């Protein structure tokens, strides 16, 4: 048994977490977890982050319903980053309605949309 605890010290208490669709392997988003968010993710099985802009715990999908059910967790060689393979409820991780937050390609200094839009954000967040 190799007990593991990620290193939260490198980024002032925050751990970067890459979120990947467990079936398609599409990278959906990058979030940050503080220690509480990490422990909640483990205990609830729902991806939970620390919102740097709102400075609060953030159960992904709490408002939209688009939760992320954790299917597998991996940790990197330095133990300062994690990778979560998730089942994305609602089919979209991004608040803009795209499947992935990485829905734009960068080329020659400009961007173009290559992602798939699953929902209209006005519909999901209007309540």
Nearer to a second copy, 83 or 89 (CB): 83
What CA–CA distance (Å, rounded) separates 50 from 57? 5
- Smallest distance, a second copy to C-beta of residue 127, A: 21
Query: Quick one: which of 45, 59, 102, 124 contacts a second copy (CB under 8 A)?
Result: 102
Query: What residues does 88 pair with on adjacent strands?
Result: 68
Query: Quick one: which of 8, 10, 69, 124 contacts a second copy (CB under 8 A)?
Result: 10
CB atoms within 10 A of CB 48: 27
Interface of this chain with a second copy, residues 52 to 91, rule: CB under 8 A? 52, 72-78, 81-83
Judge whether 47 and 31 are in contact, CB under 8 Å: yes
Should residue 107 be labelled a site residue for a second copy when binding is judged by CB under 8 A?
yes
115, 82, 87: which is closest to 101 by C-alpha?
Answer: 115
105: Cα separation from own chain's centroid: 19
Tell me, by CB under 8 A, how many residues bind a second copy: 43
Contacts of 44 (CB under 8 A, 6+ apart): 59
Should residue 26 be labelled a site residue for a second copy when binding is judged by CB under 8 A?
yes
Chain residues that interact with a second copy, rule: CB under 8 A: 1-4, 10-11, 16, 18, 20, 24-27, 29-30, 42, 52, 72-78, 81-83, 94-96, 98, 101-107, 109-112, 114
């Amino acid at each position: 048994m190799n007990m593991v605890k990620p290193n939260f010290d490198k980024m002032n208490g925050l751990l970067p977490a890459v979120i990947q669709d467990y079936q398609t392997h599409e990278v959906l988003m990058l979030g940050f977890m503080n220690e509480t968010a990490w422990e909640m993710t483990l205990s609830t099985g729902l991806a939970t982050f620390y919102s740097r802009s709102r400075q609060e715990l953030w159960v992904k999908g709490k408002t939209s319903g688009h939760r992320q059910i954790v299917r597998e967790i991996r940790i990197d060689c330095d133990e300062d980053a994690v990778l979560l393979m998730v089942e994305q409820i609602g089919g979209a991780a991004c608040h803009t309605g795209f499947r992935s937050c990485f829905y734009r390609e960068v080329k020659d200094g400009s961007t173009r949309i290559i992602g798939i839009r699953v929902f209209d954000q006005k519909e999901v967040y209007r309540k």
